[in-house]
Structure 1
Amino acid sequence: MNNKQLIPTNEIKEEFEAILVENDSIAQCVIHLKNGTIKNKQRLDTRYDEFALDTVNNEFCFSLKDKNSINFHRINLQTFSQINAVTLNLYNYFSSEELKDESYYSKLIYLNHQYLLYFITKREMNYGHPFYQCIFLVDTSTGEIKQLNPLLPNGDNLLRLDTSKNIYLSNHNHFLLLKTGRIRPFEKQSMYKNVDIENPYHDHLESIYLMKVSSLIDQQNFNNATLISLLNYSGASEKLQYENNILSYVVSDFTNNTKELIKHDLLIGDVSKFQDDQLIRDYLNYDFEILPNYYHYISKLSKQDKADTFNLIDDELSFNVKLDKIS
């Protein structure tokens, strides 16, 4: 992936603002697509490992490993001031043997102005074991870090986390969307053909949950997470999306060779299901058939000679953009 990533902080149009993350810096920028230019407003020279942007609260957070500890930082996007919030000492949670290896995998999730969730593992991927080893709730105001029990109400384990997303409903309720099962639908369908029903492969379970962020912080566990969908080895979900109070995704049933588009109205609690093949194809192919309204700028820029290429990330869409830097 291009190491110059642009993450928009407002609507993408002819001129918009974005965070530019590079190998050794984080900058607040103004992009002018018509002119094909990028200008830094403010910049921090720092490395980062994981980052989380929340445009609702105008904050950018990142984690950075330093020897055998993880430092968590917050940036207020209005002042662009950096705060070294708290340090996680890995010696308290991993063996000396595990710490000999410098490599690790992690995920940072923004919760609110005070709290972050942090997932980490120091071991290599191991068949039969969850991907992550630990989940931490990081209080960036007090510096307190608490390791959370990863168990979910249906017996699933959040150490098997695949994707997550902050969801803000129109009534201002704030939820965290969590999906387990780190396996793609086509992989799962291929494995289903040879599955041992009495002993299915270890990562067969897929759970989709919603949990009130306030409940997670108050209780400091996942006991009150609400199950939205549960799939075993004979089915898979794909293209999980949220827009205007509606959570949507497609479920494949391998046994009957069918697909179903499911839409949850999270505001009123209604669930709609659609079996129409064309509707499902349109939903799955939306990114390819309907280009965003700013694409004509990107198309023109791709044909011009520009100094630098940036990776513009717009939710699930990603485009290479050629821009000239303005000092």
Structure 2
Amino acid sequence: MTTLFSSYRLGDLTLPNRMVMAPMTRARATTSGLATPSMATYYAQRATAGLIVSEGVQPSLIGQSNPGTPGLHTDEQAASWRAVTDAVHVNGGRIFAQLMHGGRVSHPDTTGHQPVGPSAIAAVGDVFTPTGPQPAPMPLELDTAEVPQHAHAYAEAARRAIDAGFDGVELHGANGYLISQFLSSNANRRTDRYGGTIAGRIRFAVETVAATVDAIGAARTGIRLSPGGGFWGVEETDALALNTALLTELDRLQLAYVHLEVTTDEEVLIGLRRTWPSTLIVNPVLPMGPKQTGRAEADHWLGLGADLISFGRGFLANPDLVERLRTGLPIAPVDETTYYQGGDTGYLTYPAYQHTA
């Protein structure tokens, strides 16, 4: 019988359990986007996860969404990640880098550049900047000839990730960032080959994945999606048709996995499971919503056909989350005020469970 603690074969990797540490922004990198020794410790502490997916890593400077996030677009940045991947591997873990281009969810005060997007339509809400939250600015609409450059930025970052010791990459196609913006029915108002019809709106995602597969191989490439999600004002009014078409195209590329967030009706997600024949990771609760993923939610989605289950906030305060769930130990609460504050407090200071006599 398959359980959360059964092993799983993912490409060339054997995962000792089916728990994935979901990507979560922690904003602990240097101002130049370098990974730090504290980041190496943080990920190594959580290496018992079947698979770790890193925080979002910008594939280009213009793709940086938040201050304090790491990059993979310079040699120095790639070299800084080697200590992180080595620490995870020494502790028996496996780690993919999540490549995240913010698109219109960025600010000139963070990158020195005007954000770009599929259309000149601003995101909804305030974005983080070095001086605090500010309204999302109007992005520059990408020319048709410019779009492939951004697709290939992911592929170049993927090559650097593999050189830095990552086991693979996950393209962030969810939560209102650049790939999600192209998929959107309201953030993408283009009339060229990258907009309009469903075939046009999925084109950027497919080309980005294809470029990454060409760079590092399909077995090392995954993608995260949030069907129907409304993050940063992005809408998908045709989530089932759109994502069915996208998964059908991605299936031809034989990716390592698709990582779905539960951002729409269960019926829609079950339909997408039927469309996608390969490894499926499911994040069973709404990201940043009121509820955290627990054993019940994980078992529910394993029963519905997911192969792996991703846990977000549970891993922040519980570096030993796998063992806690395996043995029924209490799950420690996370301090939300330390999510992005920098420093080691609320980052390296959560202990493994302390048994008492």
TM-score (norm 1): 0.30
Higher RCO structure (Cα 8 Å, ≥6 apart):
2
- Max Rg structure: 1
TM-score scaled by structure 2? 0.28
Larger strand fraction of residues: 1
